């Protein structure tokens, strides 16, 4: 008999991917179908994020709400990073929860489902060679995670504690999965890892030496895969060989997320990022040089920035603004520092903490600066011709929408294309940060 699954996913693309794995495992092995109504569900799953404190704090009120409205006999499971972080405490605090499944234990979903009050959060668990069931429906874009865990020790980050040490997924498995996806009509792959360009440092099976650059090259040779993207690389591991392949390989989209975190070398050191402001700017300059050498004049650069890290002075924050002005990021995710347990920054003395109002003001200034930059950059896009992969269309209103190679979302006016179709578009208008154009 078919049962219904409701799943709520918070956090990063890795969590999205974990949810996809869970949905596919439950569909194939337990006959679950997705519902978007929790009141209808036989199983309610909350796939959580713990990178900042706020969503974690909301978890218990959410469980309470689901418990109040759920069907009689329906189960509630908590998975993801908060599950790893809080473990059995979740069941102690909330008796409505039937099982807890850590971010590194996702392949055990069918086991915990049948074990009352199961808590599976082993941080050393290794499912890097586990072959998950395939999703039942496939779009034109697919996520593919190439490694699990993270070996970095960034002083603000709880992820190494929730996802454990870094292990790469064997290349053969990745290539065969990518071929399977291509055969199902996937055109664009988004490779995922906490630190993608550290690929190949550790495998849990005997393995030939393969680095991220080689993996990219091998994946790009698969017929049917038209575009490759990846997130997130670490600026420290962006060597020239990688930048050259990025620039040269036509299938690698010319958009890259390079988390800056701070523009101040002093704060970067306190964050244990392993690079300086100068190193970061040099890598961006090299990237643009390599791309220009290949005739690619536009490369989309995205970033993550934390403001209000302990000890951040006004001058340090000015350094961050300076980098933002210099690089002119195309996308920027920005956050106020949130102290997290199990991180080394959590122990920093309280006299160094940045006042909450000051941090809020810095975040607003940073975001305003970025808005101005984006509006200016968008104006410069007018007249350019770009390749767009159509992801969405509206027959009645007569438009399509998709992303350019350099990752800008573009509305194509007066054209209803097929989803998955690649079209050449001239950009004709920019409104704030958004772009529209017409087919040429
Ligand atoms: N506080 C605020 N932001 C954080 N991030 C990671 N840890 C914290 C924290 N403790 C941000 C970083 C990271 C993104 C996923 O979340 O910018 O790149
Ligand atoms: Fe993703 Fe990190 Fe949040 Fe876990 S804590 S879901 S790895 S962003």
Ligand 2 and 422: CB distance under 6 A: no
| pLDDT reading at 314 higher than 90 | yes
Indicate which CATH number applies to the domain containing 78.
Answer: 3.40.50.12160
Considering the domain architecture, whether residues 59 and 150 belong to the same structural domain is answered as no
Last residue of some domain: 215, 230, 253?
253
Q: Is the pLDDT of residue 102 over 80?
A: yes
94 and 202 both lie in a single domain: no
Q: In this model, does residue 319 exceed pLDDT 80? A: yes
pLDDT value at 138 more than 80: no
User: Given this model, what pLDDT does residue 417 score?
Assistant: 92
Q: pLDDT tens, 255-280?
A: 999 999 999 999 999 999 999 999 99
Q: Please provide residue 390's backbone torsions phi and psi, each rounded to the nearest 5 degrees.
A: -70, 130
Residue 77's pLDDT is 98
> Averaged over 41-60, what is the pLDDT?
94
**pLDDT tens figures, 176-206:** 999 999 999 999 999 999 999 999 999 999 9
Residue 379 lies in a domain: no
Q: Model confidence at 433, in pLDDT bands (50, 70, 90)?
A: confident
State the CATH number of the domain containing residue 184. 3.30.750.210
Quick check: is 33 in a domain?
yes
Ligand 1 contact via 309 beta carbon (within 6 Å) = no
How many angstroms separate the alpha carbon of residue 247 from the centre of ligand 1?
Answer: 28
Domain, as residue range, for 56: 3-120
pLDDT value at residue 413 = 94
Please indicate whether residue 81, judged by its CB atom, sits closer than 6 Å to ligand 2: yes
Number of domains in the chain: 3
Q: Does residue 243 carry a pLDDT above 90?
A: yes
Percent of the chain with pLDDT over 90: 95
Shared domain for 151 and 222, answered yes or no, is: yes
| pLDDT value at residue 393 | 94
Helix H, strand E, coil C: the string for the chain is CCEEEEEEECCCHHHHHHHHHHHHHHHHHHCEEECCCHHHCCEEEEEECCCCHHHHHHHHHHHHHHHHHCCCCCEEEEEEHHHHHHCCHHHHHCCCCCEEEECCCHHHHHHHHCCCCEEECCCCCCCCCCCCCCCCCCCCEEEEECEECCCCCCCCCCHHHHHCCCEECCHHHHHHHHHHHHHCCCCEEEEECCCHHHCCCCECCCCCCCCHHHHHHHHHCCCCCCEEEEECCCHHHCCHHHHHHHHHCCCECCEEECCCECCCHHHHHHCCCCCCHHHHHHHHHHHHHHHHHCCCCCCEEEEEEEECCCCCCHHHHHHHHHHHHHHCCCEEEEEECCCCCCCHHHHCCHHHCCCHHHHHHHHHHHHHHHHHHHHHHHHHHCCCEEEEEEEEEECCCCEEEEEECCCCEEEEECCCCCCCCEEEEEEEEEECCEEEEEEC
The conformational region for residue 337 under phi > 0 = left, psi -120 to 50 = alpha, else beta, is beta
pLDDT the model gives residue 192: 97
User: What mean pLDDT, rounded, does the chain reach?
Assistant: 95
Q: Check whether 139 has a pLDDT greater than 80.
A: yes
- Please indicate, yes or no, if residue 129 is contained in any of the structural domains: no
- 21-32 pLDDT per residue, tens: 999 999 999 999
Provide the CATH number for the domain around residue 408: 2.40.50.140
The two three-digit tokens of residue 162, written as one number: 């929730």
Per-residue pLDDT at 268: 98
Q: Tell how far the Cα of 336 is from the centroid of ligand 1, in angstroms.
A: 8
> Looking at the CA of 261, which ligand is closest?
1
From ligand 2's centre to the CA of 51, what distance in Å? 5
Ligand nearest 81 Cα, by number? 2
| Residues 341-364, mean pLDDT to the nearest whole number | 96
Examine the pLDDT at 136 and tell me if it is beyond 80.
no
Confidence at residue 427, expressed as pLDDT on a 0 to 100 scale:
96
Q: Is 282's pLDDT higher than 80?
A: yes
- Residue at 273 is within a domain: no
CB of 257 sitting under 6 A from ligand 1: no
Q: 405 pLDDT band (50/70/90 cuts)?
A: confident
Rounded to whole angstroms, the Cα distance separating 102 from 162 reads 8
Q: Do 210 and 142 sit in the same domain of this protein?
A: yes
Of the three residues 72, 91, 120, the one that is the final residue of a domain is 120
Count how many Cα atoms sit within 13 Å of the Cα of residue 415 in the half-sphere of its side chain. 24
pLDDT grade for 145, boundaries at 50, 70 and 90: very high
- 174 lies in the same domain as 200: yes
160 ligand 2 Cβ < 6 A: no
Rounded to two decimals, the pTM is: 0.94
- Residue that terminates a domain, selected from 196, 230, 253: 253
Tell me if 133 is assigned to some domain.
no
Kindly indicate the confidence band of residue 56, based on its pLDDT and cuts at 50, 70 and 90. Answer: confident
pLDDT at 169 over 90: yes
Distance 159 CA to ligand 2 centre (A): 6
Ligand nearest to the Cα of 161, by number: 2
Q: What is the structure's pLDDT at 194?
A: 95
In a domain, 346, yes or no: no
Residue 108 lies in a domain: yes
Minimum CA distance residue for ligand 1 atom 17: 304
Token pair 């040429």 in the structure block, residue: 440
């Amino acid at each position: 008999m078919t049962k219904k699954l409701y799943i709520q996913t918070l956090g990063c693309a890795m969590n999205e991917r974990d949810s996809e794995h869970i949905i596919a495992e439950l569909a194939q092995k337990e006959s679950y179908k997705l519902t978007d109504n929790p009141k209808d569900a036989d199983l309610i799953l909350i796939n959580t994020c713990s990178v900042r404190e706020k969503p974690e704090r909301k978890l218990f009120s959410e469980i309470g709400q689901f418990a109040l409205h759920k069907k009689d006999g329906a189960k509630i499971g908590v998975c993801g990073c908060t599950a790893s972080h809080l473990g059995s405490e979740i069941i102690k605090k909330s008796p409505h929860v039937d099982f807890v499944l850590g971010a590194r234990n996702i392949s055990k979903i069918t086991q915990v489902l049948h074990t009352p009050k199961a808590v599976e959060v082993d941080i050393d668990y290794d499912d890097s060679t586990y072959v998950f069931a395939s999703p039942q429906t496939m779009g034109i874009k697919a996520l593919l995670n190439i490694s699990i865990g993270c070996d970095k020790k960034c002083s603000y980050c709880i992820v190494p504690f929730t996802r454990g040490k870094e292990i790469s997924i064997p290349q053969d498995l990745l290539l065969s999965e990518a071929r399977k996806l291509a055969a199902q009509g996937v055109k664009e792959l988004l490779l995922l890892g906490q630190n993608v360009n550290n690929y190949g440092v550790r495998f849990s099976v005997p393995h030939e030496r393969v680095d991220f650059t080689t993996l990219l090259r091998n994946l790009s040779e698969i017929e049917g895969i038209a575009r490759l993207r990846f997130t997130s690389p670490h600026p420290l591991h962006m060597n020239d060989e990688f930048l050259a392949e990025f620039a040269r390989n036509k299938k690698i989209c010319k958009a890259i997320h390079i988390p800056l975190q701070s523009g101040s070398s002093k704060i970067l050191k306190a964050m244990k990022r392993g690079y300086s402001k100068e190193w970061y700017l040099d890598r961006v300059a090299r990237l643009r040089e390599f791309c220009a050498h290949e005739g690619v004049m536009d490369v989309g650069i995205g970033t993550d920035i934390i403001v209000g890290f302990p000890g951040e002075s006004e001058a340090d924050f000015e350094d961050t603004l300076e980098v933002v002005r210099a690089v002119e990021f195309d996308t920027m995710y920005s956050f106020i520092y949130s102290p997290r347990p199990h991180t080394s920054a959590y122990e920093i003395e309280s006299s160094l903490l940045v006042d909450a109002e000051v941090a809020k003001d810095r975040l607003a200034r940073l975001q305003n600066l970025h808005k101005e930059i984006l509006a200016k950059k968008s104006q410069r896009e007018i007249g350019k011709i770009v390749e767009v992969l159509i992801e969405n269309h509206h027959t009645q209103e007569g438009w399509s929408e998709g992303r350019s190679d350099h990752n800008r979302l573009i509305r194509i006016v007066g054209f209803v294309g097929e989803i998955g179709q690649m079209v050449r578009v001239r950009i004709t208008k920019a409104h704030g940060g958004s772009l529209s154009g017409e087919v040429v």
